[in-house]
Amino acid sequence: MSRGSFVFTSTALRSLELDEDMLERHKYKKQLTSHHFNSYMLKKEIRDRTPLRFSTDTPPTVCQDVVVQNALYTGDLEAMQHVFPRGSTVNLIIEPQGGDMRWVPTGEGLWSLSYEQELTTPLHITAGRGFTECLRLLLQRGANVDLAPRGTTALHESCENCQPECTKLLLIHGANANALTEDGLMPLHFCTSPESVGCAKYLLQYGAAISGRTLDEGDTPLHVAASNGLPEHTELYLRYGAAVDKQNNEGVTPLIAACSEPQEVQELERYFKVCQKLLAAGADVHAMDQDKNTALHKACKNVNPDVVDLLLANGACVNDMGYGGEAPMHNILKVVCYKVSHHPERIVRALLNHGSIRVWPGALPKVLKYCCGSPRTIEVLLNAYSHLKVTDTWVESVSSEMLKEHKEFYESIFSLAQTPRSLQHLARFRLRTFLEGRVHKVVPKLDLPTFIKNYLLLEYRGYVH
């Protein structure tokens, strides 16, 4: 090996790939900055050639007047008419008093603890608080509709705070529907709650780019709607031509994004409706992100049973492995103890009925330890085996609290240390083994009583036999 060479390892290759990715992102940011600068200079040239008519041609001035701030923050229209008479300057930079304390440099290596001031404007204040008439007054006085002292415009503010009437008013007066913040976010990216759908509608009517992507993550508005569980936004964006399988910088599609977010019990239905609309629009259920995780992996991790059933009904593969070698079954078993109220047993049952791999028998005591808070999950899991080698380790794996709360159930498991599985269960196991991954398709079609079909599909009984 020459003195100028080095060992080209997989680590070095990965480092070079990361460097290349960083250079690409830097190049993209540089191009975007150049584009905005050129656009700004062009607008400035046009503005300089236009005769002065409004106060927008004068640079904004800093205002610390408490009277002015009180009128703005309270939406006092009468007071604002006195504060901003015709011909007055309305392009103000407001420095609110108070805020969070932070250390700031004062020069010569010294630092001072001062209040953090977030600069804003009268338009931002009124638009963000829904003071429509006050906002109209400012716009009539010639306020600069796209002024952005801290990187966001009043339009971003109105969308973030779900103020559709203010959003409409700003757009009517020429606000840029595709204005970018310093972080590369458009107003559509600020529509993150169900109440913001009115703002999103107005933005699209006034030319907002449905395919606009955030600078850092590369998320489209559809990604944002999906990750926030917004079915109305999702339907709206799809109607305007949003790409249903567009991947962001990490390879995440809107469907994967909808399944990736942690969800409270009251939010499960919203995310289910989003997934329904995406799949109806042709979303690819087999799409994978950079870590080779599918929407099913994510739905299992966040324990949304209805979404799991929906994905399986649309052909999702139960045994796809991510880069970490984990199948959907691994993901659900790791979070059972945290998501008992989400009914994780439904997911374990659905995965097994669709042919999912099972846990290695030697690891069952460990699973019992971490999943004992959900007896139904344990029941479904154990009924996928013909024989169980129950030992003292099994008994020790169940906490005394869970053992007391579900005494009869766990005693039925521990009794299998002396007795084999029942003949009825062995017959079920044999039939399920013969059908393999077709259990969910074949069993419902069998000419059998309903209670037998439910038994074959691992319905819960409250004990193991």
Split at pLDDT 50, 70, 90, the class of 445 is: very high
**pLDDT by residue (tens digit) across 262-293?**
999 999 999 999 999 999 999 999 999 999 99
Q: What is the pLDDT of residue 314?
A: 97
CATH topology for 210-357 is: 1.25.40
Report which residue type is found at 440. Answer: H
Split at pLDDT 50, 70, 90, the class of 138 is: very high
Q: What is the pLDDT of residue 27?
A: 57
Element at 103 (helix H, strand E): strand 101-107
**pLDDT by residue (tens digit) across 34-68?**
544 444 444 444 444 433 333 344 567 788 788 88
Distance CA 289, CA 407 (A): 43
Distance CA 160, CA 299 (A): 27
Nearest to 253 by CA among 231, 273, 282, 230: 282
Tokens linked to 170: 């700003």
Are the CB atoms for 349 and 384 separated by under 8 Å?
A: no
Distance CA 229, CA 272 (A): 8
Place of tokens 């289910």: 272
Distance CA 14, CA 78 (A): 63
Tokens linked to 279: 């799949």
Helices (H), 50-98: 66-74, 77-83
Nearest to 433 by CA among 368, 365, 358: 358
Section 334-349 average pLDDT: 96
Q: What is the pLDDT of residue 86?
A: 86
Distance CA 182, CA 199 (A): 21
pLDDT at 21 over 80: no
Q: What is the pLDDT of residue 269?
A: 97
Distance CA 40, CA 59 (A): 15
Report which residue type is found at 297. Answer: H
Tokens linked to 178: 């595709």
Burial label, 252 (beta-carbon count in 10 A; 0-12, 13-18, 19+): buried
Are the CB atoms for 221 and 237 separated by under 8 Å?
A: yes
Tokens linked to 460: 């819960």
Q: From 1.10.490.10, 1.20.950.20, 1.25.40.20, 3.40.33.10, which CATH number describes the 59-101+111-178 domain?
A: 1.25.40.20
Element at 301 (helix H, strand E): helix 295-301
Q: At what angle do helices 268-280 and 231-239 cross, to 10 degrees?
A: 20
Burial label, 318 (beta-carbon count in 10 A; 0-12, 13-18, 19+): buried
pLDDT at 386 over 70: yes
Name the most confidently modeled range: 32-41, 93-102, 114-123, 348-357.
348-357
Same CATH fold assignment for domains 59-101+111-178 and 210-357 = yes
First to last CA, the chain: 67
Element at 257 (helix H, strand E): helix 254-260
3-state SS track over 385-411: CCCCCCCHHHHHHCCHHHHHHCHHHHH
282: left (phi over 0), alpha (psi -120 to 50) or beta: left
Tokens linked to 369: 């330890």
Regarding predicted confidence, which is higher, 6 or 457? 457
Return mean pLDDT, the chain.
Answer: 87
Distance CA 127, CA 135 (A): 6
Report which residue type is found at 14. Answer: R
Name the most confidently modeled range: 53-62, 108-117, 361-370.
361-370
Going from N- to C-terminal start, the domains of the chain cover 59-101+111-178, 210-357, 364-465
